[in-house]
Each structure stands twice: as C-alpha cells, then as structure tokens.
Amino acid sequence: MSATAALSAAIIMPVAHGDSVRYFALSTALAICAGLAGMLAALLRLGFIASFISEPVLKGFISLAWP
C-alpha cells in the first residue's frame, strides 16, 4: 500500500542521513522484520485480532504516525 511505503520512508529517511546504500539496507531490514513478524503472527494464529480493530482506528494510527 502507498500509505505503508510513505510511512516506511518517513521512518527510514532521518536515520539514513541521505546515504542511499544505508537507506537500501534499512528498508531491506524493515521489510524482513515485518515479514518475520507477519509469519510469526500467522504461526500463532493471531489473525483474529485484526477483527477487533476498526477501520477508523487503523486510519487514526496512520495519521498519527505521519510527521
């Protein structure tokens, strides 16, 4: 999703300090960590938790995380 990409860029850019190699490494590490967290949640069958979070709440998290 484009919102996820924008949030990832907003988090990584200040840490990378304009270094494209570091930016690539950090974005790769973030993607791997997110994938591992998703796989762990799937193994633990935690998908039911998503049904308790309404769409307005999720949109609120996205808008609060944006600087």
Mean pLDDT of 51-60: 82
Q: In this predicted model, what pLDDT tens digit does every residue of 14-25 receive, in sequence order?
A: 999 999 999 999
- Domain spans of the chain? 2-65
Q: In this predicted model, what pLDDT tens digit does every residue of 14-53 receive, in sequence order?
A: 999 999 999 999 999 999 999 999 999 999 998 888 788 8
Backbone angles phi, psi at 66, to 5 degrees: -80, 125
Instruction: Please tell me whether the overall predicted TM-score, pTM, comes out greater than 0.85 for this model.
Output: no
Q: Could you give the dihedral angle defined by the CA atoms of residues 65, 13, 8 and 23, in that order, rounded to the nearest 10 degrees? A: -160
